[in-house]
Amino acid sequence: MLLSTWAAGAVPPREMFTDRPDITESPHSVAPGFFQVEMSFFDYELDRNGPDRLDNWVVGSINLKYGMTQNNDLQFIVNMHSRQRTSGLGGHDLASGFDDLTLRWKHTLWGNDSGRTALALIPFVTMPTHGEIGSEAWGGGMVMPFALELTDRLSLGLMAQCDLAPDLETGGTDVEWLGTICLGMDLTERWGAYTELIAVMGEDLDALFRSATGFTFALTENLVLDGGVRLGLNREAPDFGFFTGMSLRF
């Protein structure tokens, strides 16, 4: 999310920018020596295709960050508990457990402390936990987020992401692409809002398109609550989802 969360009159080492709640990541890294926890309280997603239905719940999706240098932070991402239920004419199936682990490094190329634009590179690797949820092989990729401050209250975010996803059927690797565009707005000193378009496509993946809308509320300069909804824009995309969470810096 590209919205500033600092209260009026505060003098922070750097504004707190977060990678949630939108899909579009922030190109701004965490200030050196600071920890930042971005956590989803509860995520739900529904996808229906004729008689078939998929319900996906995630509790405690956590991104733990640490500012290593002026322009670099280290991130560790995990879904503490995931639960997927598929149902249809053939009955139903339930899978739950600990999800895969993701390690990321964010390097801000420019824009952390000055200027109206910012760009970063975020290489990542995903490590399987070999449970009921998640992949059974290692994966990885690169995220490239860009931010533009349009006015004092309005910001634009663009992101391209390339995933190298393991293909268990062929034993090879599929290339998948994700692109987003996000418009964020500071409504007041504490309230923020955003709207976003999301596209995903790949070698063995039909293109899917989604939209998202959400809000943020800054309880303090270091603690922000958020929530929102996502809607599928074509048949391939999940029909509906909602989420709630928080971001904390210390």
- Can you give the pTM of this predicted structure? 0.89
The b-or-e profile of 192-226 (16+ CB within 10 A means b, else e) is bbbebbbbbebeeeeebebebebebbbeebbbbeb
Reported as a single tens digit per residue, the pLDDT across 97-109 is 777 899 999 999 9
221 backbone dihedrals φ, ψ, rounded to 5° = -70, -15
Checking if the pLDDT of 2 tops 70, the result is no
What are the residue ranges spanned by the domains of the chain? 35-249
List the CATH code of the domain at 35-249: 2.40.128.130
Can you tell me the mean pLDDT for 117-135?
88
User: Lowest mean pLDDT: which of 165-169, 199-203, 208-212, 220-224?
Assistant: 165-169
**Burial profile 92-109: b = 16 or more Cβ within 10 angstroms, e = fewer:** eeeeeebbbebebebbbe
Q: Higher pLDDT residue, 141 or 6? A: 141
* pLDDT the model gives residue 152: 93
Nearest to 150 by CA among 109, 108, 121, 182: 182
pLDDT value at 205 more than 90: no
Closest CA to 61 of 78, 44, 76, 82: 78
Reply yes or no on whether the pLDDT at 114 is more than 50.
yes
Res 100: pLDDT: 83
Say how far apart CA 88 and CA 206 lie, in whole Å.
22
The whole-angstrom separation of Cα 215 and Cα 185 is 10
> For the residues 141-157, what does the mean pLDDT come to?
97
Decide the pairing of beta strands 52-69 and 191-202.
unpaired
* Measured distance CA(197)–CA(180) in Å, rounded: 6
Position 12 scores a pLDDT of 55
CA nearest to 28, candidates 10, 15, 43, 12? 15
Q: How confident is the model at residue 203 (pLDDT cuts 50, 70, 90)?
A: confident
Mean of pLDDT values over 33-60: 93
Please say if the pLDDT value at position 13 is more than 90. Answer: no
pLDDT at 27: 98
Average pLDDT over the chain reads 90
Please report the pLDDT score of residue 206 as a whole number: 86
Asked if residue 181 has pLDDT above 60, the reply is yes
Least confident among 127-141, 149-163, 191-205: 127-141
Mean pLDDT, residues 166-177: 79
Amino acid at 75: Q
Burial of 85 (0-12, 13-18, 19+ CB in 10 A): middle
Q: What is the pLDDT of residue 168?
A: 67
Q: Which residues contact 120 (CB under 8 A, 6 or more apart)?
A: 25, 26, 27, 28, 29, 106, 107, 108, 109, 144, 145
Indicate the SS3 state at residue 211.
strand
127/98: higher pLDDT: 127
Question: What mean pLDDT do residues 241-247 have?
Answer: 97
Q: What is the pLDDT of residue 93?
A: 87
pLDDT at 9 over 90: no
pLDDT above 70 coverage of the chain, percent: 94
Query: Is the pLDDT confidence value at 92 over 90?
Result: no
- 210 contacts 233 by C-beta, under 8 angstroms: yes
